[in-house]
Amino acid sequence: MAKNLIKYFEEKSWKTYLLHLLLIVLIFTGLALAFFYVYLPAVTRHGETVTVPNLEGMSLLEMEEFLGKRHLNYVVSDSGYSSDYPPLTILKQYPLPGSYVKENRKIYLTVKSKEPQSVSMPNLIDGSLKNAELVLKSYGLKRGKITYKPDLASNAVLEQWHNGKKIEPGTKIKKGSVIDLVVGDGLGRRVFNVPRFIGLPLDEAAFSVRASGLNTGSVIIEVIDEEKLPELVELAKELEIDTASIIESGYVFRQNPDIGEQIRVGQQVDLWVVSRSVEDSIEVADSWYNKDEGQSSRSSDEE
């Protein structure tokens, strides 16, 4: 039998071998094409996809009919709150609109709850206005009216209000609530009358200037001789203050802006200080210009 088979192949030409080889290639190619383009699509239902519609803003009551017509299903996976939509409105979805999915795929929905959820009021105090707006949004709260208040901190939140009352951080509040903010205006917009600093020792006068929301400008130490004393006495009577408090070394006897003039928060006040002699002037000046060093030394000693 082996001899007959060898004899058979010896009788065949190379053209016959080539023809057989070509036939085998065609058979395998046909099988591969049938597998990828006929069998696999039939098993995986390739090509039968659905474009996910945009469901945001639609009512949950419409979903069964709306998605059913498109061969899709849905599952409510979460609830949230938005003042822009009525209850049972779709807020978010997954997969996103425009995605391609197979038929009968489940669409996961976030639906607005009937009652707004409660959240803890965040602490916005001392933060910037921009940061407060971002925090309020992340908590599902709304920024309401902004009231500016004289303060050196520009656009810093000083107070937080809800329904006409101050609200403390941590207070439970409904999502969607409106929070009003009181914010610093920087240098202060409020105009007020300049207080009296005349008749005060220099250090007390400087403290009163700062307490009034103002800054100490120039400090001028002036020697008051016997000829000028009567002027200070008359000024003390005019201001109805003790004469001794305006003629002693180290006391303020003049200020600019003057008492009662209009001034804004953050502006400077210049002070003129009594000195009864050149020696007194040096002592007053040393005491004033070295006041910061003295405070630092006292702090170190206390530590």
pLDDT (0 to 100) of residue 17: 63
CA 141, 143, 145, 151 dihedral sign is: positive
In the chain, domain spans = 49-112, 118-185, 191-302
Query: What's the CATH code, domain 191-302?
Result: 3.30.10.20
pLDDT (0 to 100) of residue 202: 93
The third-level CATH classification (topology) of the domain covering 49-112 is Trypsin Inhibitor V; Chain A (3.30.10)
Beta-carbon contacts of residue 245 (< 8 Å; ≥ 6 apart): 199, 200, 236, 251
Q: Which CATH architecture has domain 118-185?
A: 2-Layer Sandwich (3.30)
3-state secondary structure of 244: helix
pLDDT tens for each residue of the chain, 303 residues long: 545 545 555 555 556 666 667 777 778 777 777 666 666 555 555 556 888 999 998 998 898 889 888 889 999 988 877 777 888 899 899 999 988 988 889 999 999 887 778 899 999 999 999 999 999 999 989 999 998 877 777 889 999 999 999 999 999 998 889 999 999 877 656 678 999 999 999 999 999 998 888 889 999 999 988 888 999 999 999 999 988 888 889 999 999 999 999 888 778 999 999 998 888 888 888 888 776 544 444 333 444
**Residue 160 to residues 15, 154, 200: CA-CA distances in angstroms?**
95, 16, 38
User: Which residue is associated with the tokens 């020696």?
Assistant: 279
- b/e string for 165-185 if b means 16 or more Cβ within 10 A? eebeeeeebebebebbbbbbb
pLDDT (0 to 100) of residue 303: 41
User: What does the radius of gyration of the chain's CA atoms come to, in whole angstroms?
Assistant: 44
The predicted model scores a pTM of 0.40
**Same topology between domain 118-185 and domain 191-302:** yes
